[in-house]
Amino acid sequence: MMRSDPRALQLNEQGQLKHFLTLDGLSKEILTEILDRAESFLSMGEQSVKKVPLLRGKTVVNLFFENSTRTRTTFELAAKRLSADVINLNIATSATSKGESLLDTLQNLEAMQSDMFVVRHQDSGAPHFIAEHCAPNVAIINAGDGRHAHPTQAMLDMLTIRRNKGQFEGLKVAIVGDILHSRVARSELHALKTLGVEEVRLVGPKTLVPEFFRDMGANICHDLRAGLEDVDVVVMLRLQKERMAGALLPSESEFYRLYGLTEESLSWAKPDAIVMHPGPINRGVEISSEVADGDQAVILDQVTNGIAVRMAVMSMAMSGQVQAQQVAGEED
The rounded distance, in Å, linking the Cα atoms of 205 and 299 is: 24
DSSP three-state, residue 82 = coil
8 Å CB contact between 42 and 58: no
277 is in an annotated binding site: no
The rounded distance, in Å, linking the Cα atoms of 268 and 66 is: 36
Closest CA to 30 of 11, 13, 44: 11
121 is in an annotated binding site: no
Alpha helices in 198-284 (DSSP H): 224-228, 252-259, 263-266
Closest CA to 19 of 161, 146, 126, 158: 126
3 is in an annotated binding site: no
183 is in an annotated binding site: yes
150 is in an annotated binding site: yes
283 is in an annotated binding site: no
Sign of the Cα pseudo-torsion (65, 68, 69, 70, in order): negative
160 is in an annotated binding site: no
8 Å CB contact between 108 and 53: no
210 is in an annotated binding site: no
8 Å CB contact between 239 and 282: yes
The rounded distance, in Å, linking the Cα atoms of 77 and 18 is: 21
8 Å CB contact between 28 and 195: yes
238 is in an annotated binding site: yes
279 is in an annotated binding site: yes
Binding-site residues from annotation for carbamoyl phosphate: 70-71, 120, 150, 153, 279-280
Residue ranges of the binding site:
70-71, 98, 120, 150, 153, 183, 238, 279-280
| Sequence ranges of the binding site for L-aspartate | 98, 183, 238
